[in-house]
Amino acid sequence: MKLPYAEPYRIKVVEPLKKTTAEERKKAIERADFNLFNIRSEEVFIDLLTDSGTGAMSQYQWSEIMLGDESYAGATSFFKLKDTINEVLGMPYFLPTHQGRAAENVLFQTLMGHSAPEMVVPGNSHFDTTKGHIEFRGARAIDCTIDEAFDTTCKHPFKGNVDLAKLEAVLKEYSPDRIPLVLITVTCNSSGGQPVSMENIREVSSLCKKHGVTVFFDAARFAENAYFIKTREKGYSEKSIKEIVLEMFSYVDGCTMSAKKDGIVNIGGFIAFRNEELYNKASTFNIIYEGYLTYGGMAGRDLGALSVGLKESTEFSYLESRIGQVAYLGEKCVEYGVDVQQPFGGHAIFVDALKFFPHVPRDQFPAQLLGVELYIEAGVRGVEIGTLLADRDPVSRENRYPRLELLRLAIPRRVYTRSHMDYIAAGLANLKERSEKIKSGFEIVSEAPIMRHFTIKLKRI
């Protein structure tokens, strides 16, 4: 008899969760102006808003919390992390930042300056803060993701891939001085947590070298990407995750990272570099925006915890459990007839809101509607990856309508059990049964001029 699946850890500390009634949740979401970010955490039963900084640290990470060296300069915790980044990623230079968007700010300031209206940054479905930093400087993010990524039923194993023809067209249209970098997001969050193949990384790198353009990773979920390369790409099944990671990073000039994902810490980020000259240039901005070079907005204890987390996240047994849990939720959704992005991604299940609410106009934000109704139904909080997140065109100020309207259900690392996944899937199934009775969505009451989805206020139509 084949032994059933079991998590490769045991639970040492538990956090009680509060259950609320549907009526209480209706009042809570109304108080929040139908913005899921505005709900108090104690009003949420299962929180899938993000997998960023919400994971459970191991006993070895907690021991580093106690060992943290809080010296302003030259802390031992910094050198632990420096050695780990070089060992795991093969990057000899790095700058710590308080989180991923801070790393983006420092890097883009280094490569683009305060204002870059003539510049473009090609990539594969840029993350919201990435696009925000680019557009804030007057530059333009150009999405070069393969078309298969936008068909949720397509089973392409690497939907995060960059379309080489699209990228080459951009590289030919713009001179190298107008392309500060090409950014490959691994895994690609905005297209459904989808991985990028090693072959594609290699080909993008080769193409960029040919045109004299720098290549960086947004490496927030690099370890999950490596797992998919091992399990889906020919020639990598016998390689270890650590071997695959080193090869991935050998093709790029550096990376930004929100360490709150595959670093399995609650706060922190960094920029890693292969080139010392670029590191030295970025160091000035890191000191201005973040802090001194050996802490950069992070406490010593968090630097130490991250040095352990990067090693733990590149263990196959951990990744098999983590990605297996996400896939289990995806399989339950499919079983209940809920349309989701397939194949299932590494950190989240993405529900297709256009198929869930085909009768709701896109200017009424069907993905946000799905998130609000799932919260009312089951106390489960997700996040909209659709028109609200796509924001307005910086010139016309009209809504931008992405090819997909998704509700992302991001699974925190080592936090929830299989029973929680069953509960989430059942909540979606119940909601689907009454979806036709939900006739309309929302209109905007007020919004910020950029990255509006974080603070937007809505009202029901």
> Residue holding tokens 């960059």?
162
> Residue holding tokens 């936008």?
150
Which helix (DSSP H) or strand (DSSP E) does residue 24 occupy?
helix 22-31
The C-alpha atoms of residue 98 and residue 371 are separated, in whole angstroms, by: 29
Which helix (DSSP H) or strand (DSSP E) does residue 185 occupy?
strand 182-185
Residues serving a catalytic function are 72, 127-128, 218, 220, 261, 453
**CA nearest neighbour of 224 among 303, 325, 320, 329:** 320
Please spell the DSSP secondary structure of 272-310, one letter per residue: EES-HHHHHHHHHHHHHHT--TTTTT--HHHHHHHHHHH
Helix (H, G, I), strand (E, B) or coil at 458: strand
**Strand boundaries in 308-424, DSSP class E:** 348-352, 380-381, 383-385, 406-410
CB 396 within 8 A of CB 20: no
Cis peptide before 343 (omega within 30 of 0): yes
Helix (H, G, I), strand (E, B) or coil at 445: strand
What single-letter amino acid sits at 405? E
How long, in residues, is the chain? 461
What single-letter amino acid sits at 264? I
CB 126 within 8 A of CB 143: yes
What angle, rounded to 10 degrees, do the helices at 164-173 and 198-211 form?
10
